[in-house]
Amino acid sequence: SSELTQDPAVSVALGQTVRITCQGDSLRSYYASWYQQKPGQAPVLVIYGKNNRPSGIPDRFSGSSSGNTASLTITGAQAEDEADYYCNSRDSSGNHLNVVFGGGTKLTVL
């Protein structure tokens, strides 16, 4: 299957921990990558590989994976973390030819 499924919306109180999940068969073969997108801006990679953060991404962002589910955890959410979050991998069926995105999760920081 080439689909990645995310919850459409999640909310978290300021300073609390939130987990955003992504499910799909391809995640049994691929580590998900995660992107943050704020209104009017291009997506920004926040987590890749097993649990790697690009330079400049705060360490409150972390990733994990189990079976067909990948998770992005924000520990101590800040107001500036309010954004849309997308997971991404390649389709593991066939020859891994296609790239797939989850539908996105809108994170609200209360």
Give the residues lining the site for other proteins (CB under 8 A).
29-31, 33, 35, 37, 42-45, 48-50, 54, 84, 86, 88-90, 96-104
**Cβ at position 30, least distance to other proteins in Å:** 5
Q: How far apart are CA 65 and CA 22, in angstroms?
A: 9
CB of 12 to other proteins, least distance (A): 21
Tokens of 57: 């991404």
Nearer to other proteins, 69 or 76 (CB): 69
Write out the H or E segment, with its range, that includes residue 101: strand 99-101
Task: Choose between 43 and 76: whose C-beta lies nearer to other proteins.
Answer: 43
- Please identify, using beta-carbon distances, which residue of 8 and 79 lies nearer to other proteins: 8
In the complex, the smallest distance separating the C-beta of residue 104 from other proteins, rounded to whole angstroms, is 4
Phi, psi (5° rounding) for residue 80?
Answer: -75, -5
Contact 46, 35 (CB under 8 A): yes
Angle at CA of residue 21, ends 18 and 25, nearest 5°: 165
60/106 with CB nearer other proteins: 106
